[in-house]
């Protein structure tokens, strides 16, 4: 394990059938920018290559300075009026996500992470 307090957060979104394109647009056009505004650093976003996961699951990893910072930044993000507006507009025809799984991770000392 590394001695750093930095943590990574793996988030897996289980997407409502037929809503993947809308979710991707929301992330690309709004969510990622709002993450930055609140000190949440996105590492990467992924989509599966094969069904059935391809059309129903969205993956991403975030970087946080610490678990405490993650909690504070998530609260600020969720309380942001701009996020509330974006979420409401993007869900005017129904929710985009059925379930979110979140796991905090720390890299091993042999991980080949880029030095950013």
pLDDT digits (tens, 9 = 90+) for 96-108: 999 999 999 988 8
Q: What is the mean pLDDT of residues 19-41?
A: 97
Average pLDDT over residues 65-74: 96
pTM to 2 decimals? 0.89
Q: Which residue from 71, 40, 61, 35 is spatially nearest to 114, judged by alpha carbons?
A: 61
Q: How far apart are the first and last CA of the chain?
A: 18
Domains of the chain: 7-105 (3.30.70.100)
Count Cα neighbours of 81 within 13 Å in the Cβ-side half-sphere: 0
Which range scores top for mean pLDDT: 10-14, 51-55, 105-109? 10-14
Mean per-residue pLDDT, 17-25: 97
Q: Can you tell me the distance from the alpha carbon of 20 to that of 73, in angstroms, rounded to the nearest whole number?
A: 25
| Token output for 27 | 């992330």
Report residue 87 as tokens: 């979420």
> Is 90 exceeded by the pLDDT of residue 21?
yes
């Amino acid at each position: 394990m590394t001695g750093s307090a930095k943590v990574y957060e793996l988030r897996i979104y289980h997407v409502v059938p037929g809503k993947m394109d809308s979710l991707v647009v929301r992330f690309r056009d709004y969510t990622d920018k709002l993450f930055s505004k609140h000190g949440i650093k996105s590492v990467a976003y992924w989509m599966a290559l094969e069904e059935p996961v391809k059309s129903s699951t969205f993956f991403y990893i975030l970087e946080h300075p610490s678990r405490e910072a993650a909690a504070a930044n998530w609260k600020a993000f969720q309380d942001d009026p701009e996020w509330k507006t974006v979420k409401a507009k993007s869900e005017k025809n129904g929710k985009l996500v059925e379930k979110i799984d979140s796991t905090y991770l720390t890299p091993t000392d042999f991980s080949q992470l880029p030095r950013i």
